[in-house]
């Protein structure tokens, strides 16, 4: 039988809309023992979803998780991990935008985070295409990090049209300088495949990566400051 040939996983489904904390306060999340009575594959209700999400977040050293609706497609959400304040709101330590255009609600929910991971699919010259496809430009990602006053901003989800690391052109450097001028400026880093980031609250959430990129790719990064592809 097919069932005898596969590993059966014990998992449950949590709807992102149940994790926004608009439906059920964190104080009403059920206890761990309540999950054991639900068979694998169950769609969890709001209270169970919030409990399960907080349990998962606690394994990263951050006992609270919430989602934020973002502007990409229906039911698109960003994620905020951190600690709960007295009102039950999550104080951000790490946040992840997912796919989205610039979203003030996500930036505000990420306020004060040590690390924001934000998509930057397109260069600024392709803003019209970014708007059409509901993705962010590098400039919009930088603006989100500044609005949230995060310590570090990690850019990711770059269009495959770019054969080099994004964010390195003179125009983007000038834009970053202009956006960051006069206010808390996050350290801006670029993600790459197989990059690993430690996110628990006892350690800095990421590391400077420029020297690692140079070590990995060496001379292949030469000329990456050129605006030509």
Could you identify the residue written with the tokens 């949230």?
Answer: 148
Asked if residue 101 lies in contact with residue 135, where contact means CB atoms within 8 angstroms, the answer is: yes
Q: What pLDDT is recorded for position 197?
A: 79
pLDDT at 74 over 80: yes
Higher pLDDT, 189 or 76: 76
Residue 18: φ, ψ to 5°: -80, -10
- Residue 72 region by backbone torsions, left for phi larger than 0, else alpha for psi between -120 and 50, else beta: alpha
Instruction: For 91-114, write each residue's pLDDT tens digit.
Output: 899 999 999 999 999 999 999 999
Res. 167 pLDDT band, cuts 50 70 90 = very low
Given a cut of 90, is residue 55 above it in pLDDT? no
pLDDT confidence band for 11 (50 / 70 / 90): confident
Residue 20 pLDDT > 70: yes
Work out the percent of the chain whose per-residue pLDDT is above 70: 66
pLDDT at residue 146, as a whole number? 93
Instruction: Give the DSSP letter of residue 37.
Output: G
109, 92 Cβ separation under 8 angstroms: yes
Residues 6+ apart with CB under 8 A from 171: 123, 124, 125, 227
Mean pLDDT on 115-140: 91
Residue 57 near residue 65, CB atoms below 8 Å: yes
pLDDT digits (tens, 9 = 90+) for 192-224: 877 877 776 555 554 545 555 555 544 444 443
- For residue 10, give both structure tokens: 């014990």
Q: CA-to-CA distance for 160 and 138, rounded, in angstroms? A: 15
**CA within 13 Å, CB half, 77:** 15
What average pLDDT score do residues 22-40 get? 62
Distance between alpha carbon 133 and the CA centroid of its chain, in Å?
Answer: 19
When pLDDT is averaged across residues 21-42 and rounded to a whole number, the result is 64
Residue 90 scores a pLDDT above 50: yes
Q: Which of 1-5, 22-26, 114-118, 123-127 has the highest mean pLDDT?
A: 114-118
Q: Is the pLDDT of residue 172 over 90?
A: no
């Amino acid at each position: 039988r097919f069932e005898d040939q596969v590993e059966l996983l014990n998992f449950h489904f949590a709807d992102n809309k149940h994790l926004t904390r608009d439906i059920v306060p964190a104080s009403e999340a059920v206890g761990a023992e309540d999950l054991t009575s639900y068979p694998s594959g169950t769609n969890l209700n709001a209270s169970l979803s919030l409990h399960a999400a907080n349990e998962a977040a606690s394994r990263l050293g951050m006992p609270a998780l919430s989602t934020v609706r973002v502007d990409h497609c229906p039911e698109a959400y960003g994620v905020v991990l951190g600690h709960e304040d007295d009102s039950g709101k999550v104080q951000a330590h790490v946040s992840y935008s997912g796919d989205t255009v610039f979203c003030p609600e996500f930036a505000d929910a990420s306020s004060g985070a040590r690390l924001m991971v934000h998509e930057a699919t397109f260069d600024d010259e392709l803003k019209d295409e970014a708007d059409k496809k509901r993705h962010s430009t590098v400039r919009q990602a930088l603006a989100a990090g500044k609005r949230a006053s995060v310590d570090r901003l990690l850019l990711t989800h770059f269009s495959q049209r770019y054969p080099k690391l994004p964010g390195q052109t003179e125009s983007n450097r000038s834009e970053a300088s202009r956006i960051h001028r006069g206010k808390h400026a996050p350290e801006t880093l670029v993600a790459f495949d197989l990059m690993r980031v430690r996110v628990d609250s006892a350690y800095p959430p990421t590391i400077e990566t420029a020297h690692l990129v140079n070590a990995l790719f060496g001379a292949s990064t030469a000329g990456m400051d050129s605006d030509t592809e």
